[in-house]
Amino acid sequence: MTIEPTTLATGTGPIAVERGALRDTVRAHLSHGGGVLLTGPAGIGRTTVVSQLVAEAGEYGHRVLRCAPSYAERDSPFLGLIDLLTGVADDTLTRLAAHERAVLERTLLRRFGPPPATGPGDGAGPATEREALVLRIAVRKVLALLADAGPLLLVIDDAQWLDRPTAEVLNYLARRADPGVSVLAALRTGLTPAPLAHRSDGCDSALGLCPPPVRRIAVPPMTAHELAELLERHDHPGWPRPLITRLHQTSGGTPSTALELSSALDEHVRLKGAELPGPDDPLPVPDSLSRPVLDRLGALTASARDTLVMAGASGRPTVELLRRAGRPNAAADLDLCVRHGLIRALTESDNGAVRFLDPLTPMVLRAETPYEHLVEAHRALADACDDTVERAHHMARLTAGPDPAVATRLAAAASAARRRGAPGTAARLGRLAAEYTPAGQAYVDIDRRLTAAEDGIEAGDLDFARRLAHEVLGDAERPADRVRAWNVVIDSCGQAMAEIADVFPEAVRDAAGDPELLAQLHYRMSWRAWMVGGSAARAHGHAVRAAGLAARTGDRRTELMALTQQAALELFLGLPEAETTLTAALAAPHDVHAMTHHNGPVYLKYRFHLVRDELDEARAELRTLVYRLRQRGSADSLSQCLIGLAQVEIQRGRCRPALTIARQSLRIVEEAELSQGPAWYALSLAETAGGSLRRALTAAETARRHSEDDDDRLFLPRALHAEGRIRLFVGQSARAVELLRRAGELETAQGQRDPATRRWHADLAEALAAAGAPDEAAAVIAVARRQAEHLGRPGVLATLDRAKAAIDASRGELTVASRTLESAATRLRATGYPLEEARTRAALGRVRRLLQDETGARTSFASALRIFSKADARPWIALTRTERDRAQDAPAPPAEAGAWSDHLTSTERSVVARAAQGATNREIAAGLVVSVKTVEAALTRAYRKLGAKSRVEVARMVMTHPTA
């Protein structure tokens, strides 16, 4: 049987967007068989995702059969089946019975004979119900034959246009799915009526194409970051972040719409010479997008259109608000808008909220409405709404030029937005307040701009914040204003503090010796000393000074932040006063900003729990803080808390939630354009634990590049550690040693004295042992053990014992290694580290195999697999299964008294046995999970003990006299 090669789409058509998480979900479901139905409206990217999955399926060894029907083909019988089986060679059909082959070939138009006299075939396909059953059986047999050669994936794109006869055949196959056959279907939603198989329940019909278990997945809109990547990939201009955000909101995350809007904006700016639209200016909408909206608007009555104009002008329109604003017939008008597909149906659960179906509708409506009508709408809404923020928004739209009353109202609205936890809205309103402030109130103007900049920091809009800060530095003269602006510049750089080396001297000069201002600067200099200078000791000195100055001047916020930094550094440095300092930072009076910041004392509490192996307590602290930050807090703080939560979930053995959380963190920093190194680091840990080692390595390398680009010495060692661990796990011990040694050198140079704060020591020692450097490995363990015993870190001590066992095994002391690993696994179970326990039990299985204890080895591998499976630790499940199967498939010959192996160690016996079977040194190393250097050393010792001069003599000795 042969299969003609299938040309696979690669997703490089007009719209290509990376959707890694979505593809992972689909791939994971299909790996167990069954089917997946992808749904979504036109332009959302279903076909792109399908094409990417098809390309990946080919890489993973799947055979792919695909069809993509069109609207024009929906009434052509069996055209979908013909497309689906185009890649099946004729000789495959020869395996069928003659009558089955005849019906199938006639249906596929590969054989032309006399058409049937009657029947539903219309000149092709089955002529009777009996032949229709024969056709279905024949197709099922063909797919079974193909699946015998490897997993088979059937792909039906644009399933809504699939012809009825093909749909009926696929429905039959789905109900009788054979092993090895999976189905991926994509359905366009939003069509009325749904056309699939000429039925109104299009989605239900499409689900029937997929064999069980079937999962329906809606293709989500793009994120703002994905939109930016899409535009860059299609050579669109590099729009500033606020414009990207507006394009994302206006397009609703639909790729095709976003590209058209961006093209219209490019034409507007580049070809017509216009300026970029401001935050309150409308975006240009091309005719291709506006025409369908205008057609629907044209069907409205004048009253309904006026009501819709007012709804579009409101930030949060409701039926009641529209009534108060002078639209007594709002409910009837909106019902008409619902019938014409302009807004969602009004429901009691939404409290009468008006929601546009298409984000373009209010834009097109505004562009088509005379200015004086818009002004009337804003005036009526300002009088009718009882919300401070929205009223200020409408007042600003009604005012031209500076106005102190409007400015005051906007500033009050910004404060209200800030209290609600909406810093982005507060920043926008604060900037407007500054613009409406009269020229004679310079100090008020500067204060409002700086407050807006600080709100921008909280919202993650760093470019906005930095731009306002530099504006203030060009105007301000007072030291307090200038230092406050410098603080915004410093805070807006994120992890890249190396880029602002020249800021601190200028800021200190501007502080003019003021202790309150110096306290704020010393706190930030502490971070720079640690992140850029790589010295925790110098950073500690700055933090102590900042806390003291802030306490003296009554600046409680700076005092709390500095005390938190001081406590974190004391923990890292292994100083006993760390707990006392944290207690002082947590004491009243509290500051709301400090208590919800990722550099504040509440966040630091979780790290103290971690070093004490209190994982449940650490998780509880972080979950509470994440909940608060989702309500009101900065993007940076939320991302950092999610990073910490992902790490805790990994340590608790909850790999799937950890992967989800890490991806959320990365999405937040990408959309907010924050420093990405920490988020990529967290994703690498999560992928290593529960995803894919290939993706984990990519994430670790990305984290390292980001940290190196930012010159961030605080996170660089963590990225190196993450990458080094992966290299160790896949057997690249030399590269692992290089990376882990560098991580250790950086951490040690920074002053680390508590091995529980950065747990790289055991991994470095294991890598050194695998690379044939047991003495250096022992030295690493000795230093870390002294520190861990002094500080009372049982979890660290247990992992160090696992590393010590690796050294013992490399030296041939297998019995000692076995006892050490059993003890370490028991202690790791007691301290609550399931993945570390399972990793230790897998190591115990390898050692028992070297001891020729196959029963014990299988028991250890089985225990490890149970733990890894419960944790959904997919990479570890695969690695452990490989080890287990290797132990069962290739046992070394047992040693007996008086045999040739009597004078050899267990390692030497195992190496010699495999060498005698013709294995190379590299193959032996892979089989025994040791380094090539260890194999070479063992062979050299064995040669000397056996009196052999070559591998040939050793092989002859073993094979000729297996027991003597």
Residue-wise pLDDT tens digits, 4-30: 222 223 333 434 455 766 887 788 788
Q: What's the token pair of residue 178? A: 């054979």
pLDDT of residue 662 exceeding 50, the answer is: yes
Rounded Cα distance, 806 and 798, in Å? 13
Global model pTM greater than 0.75: no
More confident site: 509 or 114: 509
Q: Exposure string (b/e) for 556-586, b if CB count within 10 Å is 16 or more?
A: ebbbbbbbbbbbbbbbbbbbeebeebbebbb
What residues pair up with 613 in beta bridges, in sequence order? none
pLDDT of residue 207 exceeding 70, the answer is: yes
What pLDDT band is residue 236 in, cutting at 50, 70 and 90?
Answer: confident
- Over residues 770-798, the pLDDT tens digits come to 999 999 999 999 999 999 999 999 999 99
- Over residues 469-489, the pLDDT tens digits come to 999 999 999 999 999 999 999
Q: What's the token pair of residue 185? A: 């279907």
What pLDDT band is residue 892 in, cutting at 50, 70 and 90?
Answer: very low
Give the DSSP letter of residue 276. P
Q: What is the mean pLDDT of the chain?
A: 86
Rounded Cα distance, 521 and 517, in Å? 7
Rounded Cα distance, 645 and 662, in Å? 8
Q: What's the token pair of residue 835? A: 């993945």
Percentage of residues in the chain having pLDDT higher than 70? 89
pLDDT of residue 362 exceeding 80, the answer is: yes
Q: What's the token pair of residue 513? A: 């010796």
pLDDT, mean of residues 245-256:
85
- Over residues 405-435, the pLDDT tens digits come to 889 989 999 998 888 878 888 998 999 999 9
Rounded Cα distance, 560 and 671, in Å? 29
pLDDT of residue 204: 62
Could you tell me if 488 and 446 are in contact, meaning their C-beta atoms sit under 8 angstroms apart? no
Could you tell me if 231 and 239 are in contact, meaning their C-beta atoms sit under 8 angstroms apart? yes
pLDDT of residue 901: 62
pLDDT of residue 200: 39
pLDDT, mean of residues 148-164:
90
Sign of CA pseudo-dihedral 797, 801, 806, 808: positive
Rounded Cα distance, 435 and 401, in Å? 8
What residues pair up with 572 in beta bridges, in sequence order? none
pLDDT, mean of residues 232-247:
80
pLDDT of residue 961 exceeding 60, the answer is: no
DSSP 303-361: HHHHHHHHHHHSSS-BHHHHHHTT-TTHHHHHHHHHHTTSBPPP-GGGTTB--BSSTHH
The stretches of 420-461 forming alpha helices (DSSP H) are 423-435, 442-459
pLDDT of residue 804: 97
pLDDT of residue 203 exceeding 80, the answer is: no
Among 172-176, 230-234, 557-561, the range scoring the smallest mean pLDDT is 230-234
Rounded Cα distance, 565 and 113, in Å? 85
pLDDT of residue 60: 66
Could you tell me if 696 and 726 are in contact, meaning their C-beta atoms sit under 8 angstroms apart? yes
Q: What's the token pair of residue 62? A: 């799947």
Q: Name the 3-class secondary structure at 903.
A: coil
Angle at 835 between CA 832 and CA 838, to 5 degrees: 105
pLDDT of residue 929: 60
More confident site: 239 or 687: 687
Could you tell me if 912 and 939 are in contact, meaning their C-beta atoms sit under 8 angstroms apart? yes
Among 377-386, 757-766, 835-844, the range scoring the smallest mean pLDDT is 377-386
- Over residues 867-891, the pLDDT tens digits come to 999 999 999 998 898 888 764 444 4
Could you tell me if 188 and 194 are in contact, meaning their C-beta atoms sit under 8 angstroms apart? no
pLDDT of residue 12: 36
- Over residues 65-99, the pLDDT tens digits come to 999 998 888 889 999 999 999 989 888 898 999 99
Q: How far is CA 426 from the centre of its chain?
A: 29
CB-neighbour burial class of residue 16 (10 A; exposed 0-12, middle 13-18, buried 19+): middle
Angle at 191 between CA 190 and CA 193, to 5 degrees: 130
CB-neighbour burial class of residue 44 (10 A; exposed 0-12, middle 13-18, buried 19+): buried
Q: What's the token pair of residue 953? A: 């003599």
- Over residues 532-576, the pLDDT tens digits come to 888 999 999 999 999 999 999 999 999 999 999 999 999 999 999
